[in-house]
Amino acid sequence: KAMVETGIYPDFITVDGGEGGTGAAPQEFSNSVGMPLREGVAFVYDVLNGFDLKKHIKIIASGKVATGFDLVKNIALGADMCNAARGMMFALGCIQALECNGNTCPTGVATQDQSLMKGLVVEDKTVRVKNFHNLTVASAVELLGAAGLREPSQLSRAYINRRVSPSVMQSYLESFPYIPAGSLLQTPYPTRFELGMALSSSQSFAPTDYKVSAVDYSHANPYSDTMHEEGR
């Protein structure tokens, strides 16, 4: 809504799915915060398209993107390109020691400690990373060819199926149906976006049904007195 009102929008939006992350992240964030990349990419594409903004903004998908099929399915959902970190880190020598933020990475990948950095032989690892990248892209191209497509832009949600129950298969198109371009610019809105449109505002990221401001939140919190007492 703010983009439409101001005419100001970014060149790209990176959708970083909850599947991704870093060993430096707090455990609760890694385990519980964020929505799945699949739903996130579809949502961002549909909202931008609904506001007729997709033509101005590229979408980048990120979050456990490691295989050719990962590239294909995210582009089919609406991404223009993908970021990859985990697979590249593994090719570089990451062993998931979860020491990214302690400067104690035992493989030398995520540290500035000179003694540990010796474990990362750049001349050797650059070849591995290059090979991983090239073969991943090549596998995505093979999948496109198998589907009878010449380029990624020809992909759509109709090309990817997923199992939603032991006996039911659905295409991404069935799970995440497209909405018409510009359909969020005026009522009636597509049904599945009605609540989101009612709660959203161009002035704030907070849902508009929040009746209590952040400043007054403590007065509405039944545990606030206890927390203040413990704090003292």
Percentage of residues of the chain with pLDDT beyond 70: 89
> Contact, 201 vs 209, CB < 8 A?
no
Q: For residues 77 and 231, which has the higher predicted lDDT (pLDDT)?
A: 77
In this prediction, residue 226 carries a pLDDT of 40
Spans of all domains in the chain: 2-204
| Token couple for 181 | 């371009």
Binning pLDDT at 50, 70 and 90, where does residue 31 land? confident
Could you give the strand order of the β-sheet that contains 12-16, starting from the edge strand earlier in sequence? 12-16, 58-62, 81-82
Q: Which of 122, 95, 90 is nearest to 107 (CA)?
A: 95
Q: Provide the pLDDT confidence category of residue 217 given band limits of 50, 70 and 90.
A: very low
- d(C-alpha 44, C-alpha 117), whole Å: 39
Looking at residue 229, its pLDDT comes to 38
The distance of Cα 204 from the centroid of its chain, to the nearest Å, equals 21
Element (DSSP H or E) covering residue 82: strand 81-82
Position with higher pLDDT, 204 vs 171: 171
Average pLDDT rounded to a whole number, residues 168-175:
95
> Mean pLDDT across the stretch 130-147?
96
This prediction's pTM: 0.83
Per residue in 189-198, pLDDT (tens digit) is 999 998 888 8
Q: CB of 12 within 8 A of CB of 58? A: yes
Note the pLDDT of residue 218: 47
Give the per-residue pLDDT at 161.
95
**pLDDT the model gives residue 162:** 93
> What pLDDT sits at residue 135?
96
Residues 41-75: tens digit of each pLDDT = 999 999 999 999 999 999 999 988 999 999 999 99
Q: Once rounded to an integer, what is the mean pLDDT over residues 83-101?
A: 89
pLDDT of residue 216: 47
The CATH fold of domain 2-204: TIM Barrel (3.20.20)
Give me the residues paired with residue 12 across strands.
58
Select the more confidently predicted residue: 59 or 203.
59
pLDDT attached to residue 232: 33
